[in-house]
Amino acid sequence: MPGFVEIVSQLTNGVIYGLILALVAVGFSLVLGVMGIINFAHGLLFALGAYLAYSLQFHVGYFGALVIAPLIVGMIGILMEFVFIRRLYGRDPLFVLVLTFGVAMAGEEIIQLIWGKLARSVDAPAFADSFIDFGFIIYSEYRLFMAAAAALIIGATWYLLAKSPLGSIIRAGTHDPEMVSILGMNLPLIRTGVFGFTALLGGAAGVVAAPLWSVRPTMGLDALLPAFLIVVIGGMGSFWGSVLGGLLVGVANAISVMFFPRFADLTMYVLAAVVLLYWPRGLLGKKSVLE
């Protein structure tokens, strides 16, 4: 039986891990909620963020990479929307699901062509590359920084969507695209912008996660599955749902490592199964565009 100290330190770590997961999931959730797209290439964008951080760290340092890499990934997202995704608006959501999955697979191969097959290491920024002794827990500085960065990015995204005028237009576009067009808004441009923004979020998550989980070609698909489950648990397309889902998975993982470490990887599936039994649309899900 773990002692009190261990329980507290594990739960603290679970919350921080959950914030990091939420950051990965939030862009995936947003593109689903706002555009009705299940973007299986979100993991690829995450991986691209991490790889760009790896390459850029030698030239512009970690913080330079944190700014530049997401911008590049955002532009790649815009290009992706412009070339592929916009052809499928208004069609069965399954089409875009298959398309983005294909893009993800092809993208992984392209990553291998450019950066090779072996894992790469990204160093944590100098100010956070050590650990702090809190007495009850010795914790990684970088994870604390990451949790703060995740909270900040999530908060800023929420503000942009819920409080800003642009956010109102985006949300109106989800509910009534026709009316938004009639009001003179350039809907295709807005959609491209939103997709690019979610790509940017994915890229930012990749940069932030790079020093932790080591950078390798399969990391995109590795990240996609937890992100998808978190969105399912939190509620399809619900912004705060994905944050809640991330936190729940983080804490559940910490608890399972304390009591049943062998089954730690099963916890998120069990959690998803239990949630879906009682809340078929996820915890905070509403009737979504996919129904």
Query: Distance between CA atoms of 43 and 20, rounded to whole angstroms?
Result: 14
* 57 is a contact residue toward other proteins (CB under 8 A): no
* 17 is a contact residue toward other proteins (CB under 8 A): yes
Query: Distance between CA atoms of 26 and 245, rounded to whole angstroms?
Result: 10
- Shortest distance (Å) from residue 37 CB to other proteins: 25
Helix (H, G, I), strand (E, B) or coil at 138: strand
Determine which residue in the list 145, 158, 213, 279 makes contact with other proteins, applying CB under 8 A. Answer: 213
Query: Distance between CA atoms of 95 and 262, rounded to whole angstroms?
Result: 37
Place of tokens 């939190």: 234
- Shortest distance (Å) from residue 21 CB to other proteins: 9
* 112 is a contact residue toward other proteins (CB under 8 A): yes
Give the footprint of other proteins on residues 128-187 (CB under 8 A): 130-131, 137-140, 142-143
Interface with other proteins (CB under 8 A), residue total 45
* 55 is a contact residue toward other proteins (CB under 8 A): no
- Shortest distance (Å) from residue 261 CB to other proteins: 5
- Shortest distance (Å) from residue 187 CB to other proteins: 38
Single out the residue of 241, 265, 3 nearest to residue 137, CA to CA.
3
Half-sphere exposure of 154 (CA within 13 A, CB side): 26
- Shortest distance (Å) from residue 278 CB to other proteins: 26
Per-residue CA distances from 138 to 79, 94, 135 (Å):
44, 46, 7
Query: Distance between CA atoms of 272 and 172, rounded to whole angstroms?
Result: 30
* 264 is a contact residue toward other proteins (CB under 8 A): yes
* 269 is a contact residue toward other proteins (CB under 8 A): no
The answer to whether 191 and 37 have CB atoms below 8 angstroms apart is no
274-284 burial by CB neighbour count: b if 16+ within 10 A, else e? ebeeeeebbbb
* 258 is a contact residue toward other proteins (CB under 8 A): yes
Q: Which is nearer to other proteins, 236 or 251 (CB)?
A: 251
- Shortest distance (Å) from residue 112 CB to other proteins: 7
Residues that bind other proteins (CB under 8 A): 2-3, 5-6, 9-10, 13-14, 16-17, 112, 116-121, 123-124, 130-131, 137-140, 142-143, 211-214, 216-218, 222, 253-254, 257-258, 261-266
